[in-house]
Amino acid sequence: MNNKNIISAIQKHVKNFNGKQVKAFYETELGFSDIFTEEDNYMDYFKSEDYLEKHIDKQSDIKHKLEHCGIIISDDNSTDVIKNTLLSLSIETLPIENSFKDKVLKMREDAINMIETKAYLGIMVFVGSILEGILLGILQNNSDLRTNRLRQLFQNSTNAPNKKEYPKIVFNDLETFVNTDTKLKSQKVRNVIDEYLKAKNFKKDKETDFSKWELNDLLTVSKKEGLLEDKMGRLAEIIQGARNYIHPNEQVKVLDFSSSNALISVTCLEEIVNNLKRYFTTNPENHIG
């Protein structure tokens, strides 16, 4: 991979950045050592090919750092990279409930089959579904001791979603309506009133049924409770955003979906799967036995 592709990707990323934003990106994400002035007057130089060429040569892992930021460098063999990355995912090593694991592996197979037909949007959507299936499958696994503590953490988390079912409300001012009409004495009316009063005093309880959690709920709590490392949370948001392109009103914002778009999602998924593997192998409380 030549430096021109890397430089072009960085320039595109920082195109509209001001001085402070460029400095933060170069220093924190790319590890550039000589910290420059934040003056916007010098921004053309700091975004120039000469400046970037000098610094990326010192960064042996520059491509990996860019991938952590969701920036994938275009490659002629990107479709091969997508296929090999999907095939190498360590899904089988994770404590996923068997029925979910079967579905996740089938979705991976389907995503690989989409490469030949260049269905890159389909791959992006499937990657989001694979991530959701992995997280749900871990939480739904009742037969593995490693997931017990995690399940309790998620259910008791302050970021867990509230239940969405509320008692039915027929009229907003039902009490006033009934109290002014003495003829409404039937049990049916009383039942309606009871439903209304329940709704008025309804307390939003946490949803403990994981099948009713959405991907956003899973990601929010995963970051809050430490299942996903900080950078992994950001990569998961990239996957979630890409999956949202399934909606037509989002698709019209993009001219075309290329192999590079799909590669971003797949690479992010690879990092997250590796993160989950680390979580279940390095945390003592998650060991079996």
pLDDT value for 289: 37
Cβ distance 37 to 19 under 8 Å? yes
pLDDT value for 189: 66
pLDDT in tens, 28-59: 888 887 667 666 667 788 888 888 888 887 76
Which of 7-11, 69-73, 204-208, 272-276 is the least confident region? 69-73
Highest mean pLDDT among 124-133, 243-252, 275-284: 124-133
Cβ distance 121 to 251 under 8 Å? yes
pLDDT value for 287: 43
pLDDT value for 275: 94
pLDDT in tens, 158-204: 999 887 765 555 455 555 555 555 555 566 666 766 676 666 665 66
Q: What is the mean pLDDT of residues 103-121?
A: 94
Contacts of 181 (CB under 8 A, 6+ apart): none
Which of 108-112, 220-224, 240-244 is the least confident region? 240-244
pLDDT value for 94: 94
d(Cα 94, Cα 115) in Å, to the nearest integer? 25
Mean pLDDT, rounded, of the chain = 81
pLDDT value for 246: 79
pLDDT value for 254: 63
pLDDT value for 177: 55
pLDDT value for 288: 42
What is the crossing angle of helices 145-156 and 120-139, to 10°? 100
Cβ distance 242 to 265 under 8 Å? yes
Question: Which DSSP string corresponds to the chain?
Answer: --HHHHHHHHHHHHTT--HHHHHHIIIIII--SSPPP--GGGHHHHTSHHHHHHHHTT-TTHHHHHHHTT-PPP-TTHHHHHHHHHHH--GGGS---HHHHHHHHHHHHHHHHHHHTT-HHHHHHHHHHHHHHHHHHHHT--S-HHHHHHHHHHHH-TTSPBP------S-TTHHHHHHT-TT--SHHHHHHHHHHHHHHT----B---GGG--HHHHHHHHHHTTSS-HHHHHHHHHHHHHHGGGSHHHHTT-S---HHHHHHHHHHHHHHHHHHHHHHHH-GGGS--
What is the crossing angle of helices 259-282 and 230-243, to 10°? 140
Domain boundaries, the chain: 3-68, 78-158+209-286, 172-201
Higher pLDDT among residues 68 and 189, named by residue: 68
